[in-house]
Structure 1
Amino acid sequence: MSHPQRSVLIINPNTTQAMTEGLRPLAERLGFPTHYEYFTAPHGVSSINNEDDAVISAQACLPNITDLMQYHDALLVCCYSQHPLVSLLREEIRKQHLDRPCVTGIFEASVATCLQYLNVGEKFGIVSTGQQWEAILGEAVAELLGSDNGKRFAGTETTGLNANELHAVAKSELDLRMKDATKRLLRKGAKAICLGCAGMAGLDEVVRSACVEALGEEGGMQIKIIDGVISGVVFLEGALRSAM
């Protein structure tokens, strides 16, 4: 007996279509027998650079996605933050007494993935964009892990570039900034590193190169590099399969 194909809506809550296009290969190269559709915010902000931007983007997206929920089994919010759209969508699902879709954000998914990879006491860190994210993500991790998060979290190190600037600067400049942030996390003892922005798709190789430069071939290859979009897709796939 065949089952209907699962459908996941991958949500870019900012208005930059190029960022949405960058999400497609991350999901589709995993090869799951799942149908993916992509949503870009119809209005709001072109880059989510702080918590105020996140609120604006959530308000811009919520009505449209509420209308689309009935057509999908899962929703993935692709902003690397404790984005309010995740909880708003969950509340909407509860309000409508629905048993689906399943919802997560790439921040939550990547932190969970890190904890699954690491031994107790080992730390993960986040490479993010503008400096403002150091405090924002630090508070978000503390809310997820509790008061003892310092035992597991090496912190957030940033490039100084906002999300919409990541691919506007020269590649050599971007690589240098990504490597510097990565090496700062390694000096803090990070054994896993999260790419802290959906716009960092494809930059895992730069982070890996920094790990090898800092720790040598053997040590550098042992560092886990976590892409939040991939983590989110994998989590939702597992959640959907377990509910079959």
Structure 2
Amino acid sequence: MRSILIINPNSSNAMTEALKPLVDRLANDGTSFSYFTAPSGPASINNDADAASSVDHCLPALRPLLKSSDAFLVACYSAHPLVPTLAREPEVIRGHKPVMGILEASVIASLLLVNQGERFGIVSTGKVWEELLAAGVAEFLGSPSSARFAGVETTGLNAGELHDAPAELVQSRMKEATRRLLARGNIGAICLGCAGMAGLGELVREACVEVLGDELGARMKIVDGVQAGAVQLDATLRMGR
């Protein structure tokens, strides 16, 4: 049995619980998924400082779990420092255990899904992520600009507010950000740029249908980074055995 640990580096148990149905849809007889929530620290990672702080809160509690899992998915949509930190852990190195972040996983999936001449983009939370995620994508692709990346549009809501704010506000902000991204042109895939957007992909789909019409809107690829990461790590483990 292959085992993948999905790590929520913020301290919100509700956010971790929201990830489980997404991953359960992908389950197969050969792979088990377990979950970790930061025992303390920021309940919502809203900037680079929060991300850095979350490493200190997570790492001591994670170290005893490294031996019992074969791969690790960091479920924060950012260039999260926990990914390279875990990759340097002796147990991870000895076991050749892959570590991935959901930003990187969603970029890989999007590049495979878009057609020639199309681009992918990201819908995320607070405005600070427009620059941070664009930089993270550029670093991952090895280029400060890419003809295949359309950029980032944001809702102005943080991860916690996606589930705590009034539903009408969340719906309008998600759709507005999606419309702005579509206006950039030639969009073939949209990444949900926050683990807290679990289950909100349908709002993105509705906005795509409203802007592009039923046929084109239904064909838009909507990429959830947690699902993408779970599938990619599972495939990696299968190839390595």
Alignment TM class, shorter chain as reference = over 0.9
The yes-or-no answer on 1:199 pairing with 2:196 is: yes
Q: 1:97 Cα shift?
A: 4.1
Cα 1:154/1:96, change in 2 over 3 Å = closer
2:135/2:144 contact within 8 Å kept: no
Q: TM-score of the superposition, structure 2-length normalised?
A: 0.95
Deviation at 1:160, TM superposition (A): 0.3
Q: Counterpart in 2 of 1:73? A: 70
Preserved CA contact (<8 Å) 1:125 1:155: yes
Q: Which amino acid aligns with 2:17?
A: E
Matches within 5 A, 1:154-233: 154-189=150-185, 190-233=187-230
Equivalents in 2 of 1:82, 1:32: separation in Å?
Answer: 29
Match of 2:32 among 32, 35, 54: 35
**Contact kept in structure 1, 2:9 and 2:37, CA below 8 Å:** yes
- What is the CA distance between 1:148 and its match in structure 2? 5.7
- Segment drifting more, 147-156 vs 40-49: 147-156
Consecutive unaligned residues in structure 2, runs of 5 or more: none
Moved more, 210-219 or 149-158: 149-158
SS class of match (2:164): coil
User: After the TM superposition, which segments of 4 or more aligned residues of structure 1 sit over 4 Å from their partners?
Assistant: none
Separation of aligned partners in 2, 1:147 and 1:65: 33
The amino acid of 2:184's aligned partner reads K
Measured in 1, the distance between the counterparts of 2:83 and 2:137 equals 16
1:162–1:114 Cα change, 3 Å: same
* Mapping of residues 44-63 of structure 1, within 5 Å: 44-63=41-60
Separation of aligned partners in 2, 1:171 and 1:32: 33
CA contact 2:78–2:133 (8 Å) conserved in 1: yes
The partner residue of 2:109 within 107, 113, 135 is 113
For the Cα contact (< 8 Å) 2:66–2:92, is it kept in 1? no
> CA 1:239/1:177 → structure 2, altered by over 3 Å: closer, same or farther?
same
Superposed CA RMSD: 1.3
